[in-house]
Structure 1
Amino acid sequence: MSRQLHLLLATALPRKRTGRHVLDPSVTRVRVLPTDLDLYLHVNNGTYLQMMDVARSNYIADIGGFPPLKEKAWYPVVAASTMTYRRSLRLGDRVHITTRVLGWDERVVYLEQVFTRRGEQCARGVVAGRFLTRGSGERVPAPAVVARLAGEQIESPELPDEVLRWARAVDVAHRA
Structure 2
Amino acid sequence: MKKFNLQKKMKKFNLQKKMMKKFNLQKKKKKKFNLQKKKKKFNPQKKKKKKKKKKMMMMMMMMMMKKKFDLQKKKIKKINLQKVPMLYVMFIMTYYIRTLYNIIEGYFRKKDELITETRWFSRARLSDIDMFMHINNASYFRVAEFARWTWTYESILGKILSEQKVYPLMTLATARYRRPIRLWQKYEIHLRLIEIDDKAMYIHQTFYSGKSKQFAASIVFKYSFVQKSDNKTINPRQISAKYVPDESLLPKAQPGTADYEALQTLYKLESFLLGKTGSQQTRTTDLTNTDKSKDAKKE
Query: For this structure pair, what is the TM-score category when the shorter chain's length is used for normalisation?
Result: 0.7 to 0.9
**Which of 225, 229, 254 is equivalent to 1:131?**
225
Aligned in 2, Cα 1:81/1:149: closer, same or farther, shift over 3 Å? farther
Contact 1:63 1:149 in 2 (8 A): no
**Which of 258, 263, 269 is equivalent to 1:163?**
263
Aligned in 2, Cα 1:46/1:77: closer, same or farther, shift over 3 Å? same
Return the alpha-carbon distance in structure 2 between the equivalents of residues 41 and 13 of structure 1: 28
Return the alpha-carbon distance in structure 2 between the equivalents of residues 30 and 148 of structure 1: 34
Q: Which runs of 5+ in 2 are unaligned?
A: 1-91, 274-299
AA in 2 matched with 1:147: A
Aligned in 2, Cα 1:90/1:21: closer, same or farther, shift over 3 Å? same
Aligned in 2, Cα 1:23/1:66: closer, same or farther, shift over 3 Å? closer
Return the alpha-carbon distance in structure 2 between the equivalents of residues 162 and 21 of structure 1: 26
Counterpart in the other structure of 2:66: none
TM-score, normalised relative to structure 2: 0.53
Which structure shows the bigger proportion of residues in helix conformation?
2
Q: Number of residue pairs matched?
A: 172
**Which of 172, 188, 199 is equivalent to 1:96?**
188
**Which of 4, 15, 25 is equivalent to 2:117?**
25
Matched, 1:67 2:159: yes
Counterpart in the other structure of 2:215: 121
Please, which moves more after superposition, 140-149 or 73-82? Answer: 140-149
Return the alpha-carbon distance in structure 1 between the equivalents of residues 226 and 214 of structure 2: 35
Contact 1:26 1:58 in 2 (8 A): no
Aligned in 2, Cα 1:45/1:145: closer, same or farther, shift over 3 Å? farther
Counterpart in the other structure of 1:78: 170
3-state SS, counterpart of residue 60 of structure 1: helix
Return the alpha-carbon distance in structure 1 between the equivalents of residues 237 and 269 of structure 2: 22
Give the CA deviation at 1:14. Answer: 3.5
Please, which moves more after superposition, 12-21 or 131-140? Answer: 12-21
Return the alpha-carbon distance in structure 1 between the equivalents of residues 216 and 262 of structure 2: 19
Counterpart in the other structure of 2:199: 107
Aligned in 2, Cα 1:12/1:18: closer, same or farther, shift over 3 Å? closer
Contact 1:101 1:110 in 2 (8 A): yes
Q: Considering only aligned residues, what root-mean-square deviation do their CA atoms show, in Å?
A: 2.2
Return the alpha-carbon distance in structure 2 between the equivalents of residues 11 and 68 of structure 1: 15
Aligned in 2, Cα 1:141/1:92: closer, same or farther, shift over 3 Å? same
Q: Deviations over 1:62-99 (max 9, x none)?
A: 21321232111011111110110111011111111111
Return the alpha-carbon distance in structure 2 between the equivalents of residues 143 and 162 of structure 1: 20
Identity of aligned residues (%): 18
Return the alpha-carbon distance in structure 2 between the equivalents of residues 90 and 148 of structure 1: 43
Return the alpha-carbon distance in structure 1 between the equivalents of residues 185 and 122 of structure 2: 8
Return the alpha-carbon distance in structure 2 between the equivalents of residues 86 and 162 of structure 1: 18
Contact 2:153 2:159 in 1 (8 A): no
